[in-house]
Amino acid sequence: RSFGTPGPGYLAYIPGGGVFPAALADFISATTNRYTGIWQAAPALVQLEANALDWLRDAMQFPPEARGLFTPGGSMAMFNAIACAREKLLGTEIRTGTVFVSSQAHHSIAKAARLAGIAHDRVRTIDVDGNYRMRIDALQHAIERDRGDGLKPFMVFSTAGTTNTGAVDPLDAIADVAAREGLWHHVDGAYGGCFHLVPELRHLLAGLPRADSLTLDPHKGLFLPYGTGALLVRNGEDLRALHASHAGYLPDNQLEFYDPAQYGPDLSRGFPGLRVWMCLKIFGAARYRAAIAEKRELAVWAAQQIAAIPGIVMDALPQLSLFAFHLEGKGLDTLDAQNQATRELMERVTRRGKVMLTGAQVGERFLGRVCVLSFRTRRAEMETCVQHLVEEAAALVAQAAEQT
């Protein structure tokens, strides 16, 4: 009863990838089994990983002193970011520290906070505006309230593409608040960060390169298999200060080259960088950019078609490649009835077996959603998606009207 995330009709949650050369890279990594915790043990291979991170750093317009880390996913990138900020800004006094997230932020942030010793009563949830973006006035107010209570606000998380509706927080304005208030600004780009690879789409993520740290998920936006996340930290020394440690049986820590074990929690580790490096080399950055731009175009086109379906009300237009909507109509007058019909719409379309859709509960409302990010998704799947939504929405609206 599993579902096939690499399929072209997978428009649910946030699609993942599964490009073929990544499997070859894993095969090579596993069979050569080189030790990549420290540069000296496998200089050429570790340098490939460093180069892949540098490529991400440059694509995100982070400065040369930024350093990064490949992680198993976005959640672990978030955990390392919060540990890094905590170490730098709180030191040993962690109990007074507070962090700020929007009500639409991914739940992995609160979990990462907990793992990093920031308890739930120190995580502040900030309201969003009508477009599901963090409200700056509410953020400012929450920071002031904490300061008034003798607490120490130290970190704000913004999201470049939320999972529920694809909203991009006002990254520039949040960066301004963070700079003014001395907070660490982390951008969660697990879903949306990849759109920054496309120069023509960068304006949608304005302010992203100002972040102190950034979560990326190449297993989403670079179409790699699960198990490929990444973290970039603006001042690489901050990441190193958290992780660098030494043992008598190891060679001295060196500063000249990138030692993964000095920038991340693992010592013995696999070789995730090869997946990224090989796919970039084989496909080339230009093909990645074209594929990512195509996903956005498909989402924009589909959203226009779906907005015109009788009964569909658009709640969130595609800021990137994800949009959300609900169903209304005669007999669907209450929120409960609309939620139930919208849920049923997602299920009926999915049951037809060609495209898979999932919804999300956002506050009181259940939203239907479409997210385009599978490298195999093309216009044909989007046409099927639209057609099935047209037919199932019509059936549901007619059924509700009959029952009144």
Ligand X SMILES: Cc1ncc(COP(=O)(O)O)c(C=O)c1O
Distance in Å, CB of 374 to ligand X, minimum: 14
Q: Which pair of tokens denotes residue 393?
A: 């929405």
Residue (212 or 217) nearer to ligand X, CB = 217
Determine the Cα–Cα distance for residues 368 and 354; give it in Å rounded to an integer. 17
Backbone angles phi, psi at 66, to 5 degrees: -70, 150
Q: State the number of CA atoms in the 13 A half-sphere of 64 facing the CB.
A: 0
Determine the Cα–Cα distance for residues 44 and 233; give it in Å rounded to an integer. 23
Residue (191 or 366) nearer to ligand X, CB = 191
Residue (37 or 229) nearer to ligand X, CB = 229
Distance in Å, CB of 370 to ligand X, minimum: 15
Q: Exposed/middle/buried for 402, CB within 10 Å: 0-12, 13-18, 19+? A: exposed
Residue (45 or 362) nearer to ligand X, CB = 362
* Cα dihedral 108→112→114→116 (10° resolution): 180
Longest dimension (CA), the chain: 78
Sheet of 312-316, strands arranged across: 312-316, 322-327, 365-371, 359-362
Sign, Cα dihedral of 40, 42, 43, 46:
negative
Residue (146 or 188) nearer to ligand X, CB = 188
Residue (8 or 229) nearer to ligand X, CB = 229
Distance in Å, CB of 103 to ligand X, minimum: 14
Distance in Å, CB of 162 to ligand X, minimum: 6
Sign, Cα dihedral of 177, 182, 183, 189:
positive
Residue (217 or 328) nearer to ligand X, CB = 217
Determine the Cα–Cα distance for residues 335 and 332; give it in Å rounded to an integer. 8
Residue (239 or 371) nearer to ligand X, CB = 371
Backbone angles phi, psi at 175, to 5 degrees: -60, -40
Say if CB 97 and CB 151 are below 8 A apart.
yes
Q: State the number of CA atoms in the 13 A half-sphere of 350 facing the CB.
A: 19
Distance in Å, CB of 123 to ligand X, minimum: 15
Distance in Å, CB of 1 to ligand X, minimum: 21
Residue (362 or 386) nearer to ligand X, CB = 362
Q: State how beta strands 213-216 and 229-233 pair.
A: antiparallel
Residue with nearest beta carbon to ligand X: 74
Distance in Å, CB of 178 to ligand X, minimum: 19
Distance in Å, CB of 6 to ligand X, minimum: 15
* Amino acid letter, 250: L
Distance in Å, CB of 217 to ligand X, minimum: 5
Provide the binding-site residues for ligand X, judged by CB under 6 A.
14, 73-75, 106, 108, 159, 162-163, 188, 190-191, 217, 229
Q: State how beta strands 229-233 and 67-71 pair.
A: antiparallel
